[in-house]
Amino acid sequence: MSSSAPSKAPASGSGAGTRGGPRHVAIIMDGNGRWAKKRLLPRAMGHKKGVEAVRNLVRSLRENPVEALTLYAFSTENWGRPADEIADLTALMKHFIRNDLDEIAQAGVKLKIVGDYSVFDDEAVKLIDGALARTAGNNKVTLAIALNYGAQAEIVRAARAAAEEGEITEEAIARHLDTADMPPLDLLIRTSGEVRLSNFLLWQAAYAELYFTDVLWPDFSPAHFREALDHFAGRERRYGGR
């Protein structure tokens, strides 16, 4: 199932009425818990399988090229989950960095964090800092991971920064968003059948095409990603202009 509702042309990015592949894709990776529950497995196994899906997706970017990919990994609301689940998620994040950073760096991927990752434990922060520094010079694709991220808080921070500069305009706020150095968001995908944005990239998604799939995140394959890209390419983006 898919849905889209752009309202007006953005200041930059693909022009109105154009067709082609997206420059910037974002994904709400939903369904790890339900995947595990269906198989009578602990939630931790769902999260582990979800990390494998991330790994396969990043590897597939050689065949499905985009300029930027943003993944919703940990929201500000996720702190309300049980402590053991948060510990599992943090451990998986550390494991991913330790085991996949070499491959990511060699593939020319530039890592970026959207949100405030300083709230994680010292070991995690150190690993993230190292990963960001190591990939800072890469330019084939930007892989942004949303950690401790909430779109409403991001917009508030950006508005405050714009106000301090004495100019509260759409352009001024956009300059202070976490994604200001990335291409405009073209396509937002959500897995698992849920049809909502869950406080993710609310400002950036104003003109994005939305794509919803019933596939649970651990089962989301590069082929599913290709299907979403092909669906996007078949749309005519008018931004309400005609």
| Cβ-contact 218, 46 below 8 angstroms | yes
> Mind listing the pLDDT tens digit for each residue in 215-227?
999 999 999 999 9
The domain spanning residue 144 has which CATH number? 3.40.1180.10
199 catalytic per annotation: no
- Answer whether residue 189 is part of any domain: yes
41-67: average pLDDT: 96
Cα–Cα dist 211/61, whole Å: 18
- Answer whether residue 241 is part of any domain: no
pLDDT above 90 covers a percentage of the chain that reads 87
Give the helix/strand (H/E) hosting 131: helix 122-135
- Answer whether residue 162 is part of any domain: yes
Number of domains making up the chain? 1
Q: What is the pLDDT of residue 17?
A: 36
- Answer whether residue 15 is part of any domain: no
- Answer whether residue 233 is part of any domain: no
Q: What is the pLDDT of residue 2?
A: 46
* Catalytic member of 64, 78, 138, 199: 78
78 catalytic per annotation: yes
Mean pLDDT of the chain: 92
Name the DSSP letter for residue 134. H
pLDDT for residue 169 is more than 90? yes
> Mind listing the pLDDT tens digit for each residue in 178-197?
999 999 999 999 999 999 99
Instruction: Dump strand ranges (E) for 66-192.
Output: 68-75, 109-114, 141-149, 187-190
- Known binding-site residues equal 30-35, 43, 47, 75-77, 79, 81, 190, 196-198, 209
Q: Which amino acid is at 215?
A: V
- Answer whether residue 14 is part of any domain: no
- Answer whether residue 16 is part of any domain: no
- Known binding-site residues for substrate equal 31-35, 43, 47, 75-77, 79, 81, 190, 196-198
- Known binding-site residues for Mg(2+) equal 30, 209
Range of the domain at 141: 2-7+22-228
Q: What is the pLDDT of residue 166?
A: 95
pLDDT above 70 covers a percentage of the chain that reads 90
- Answer whether residue 13 is part of any domain: no
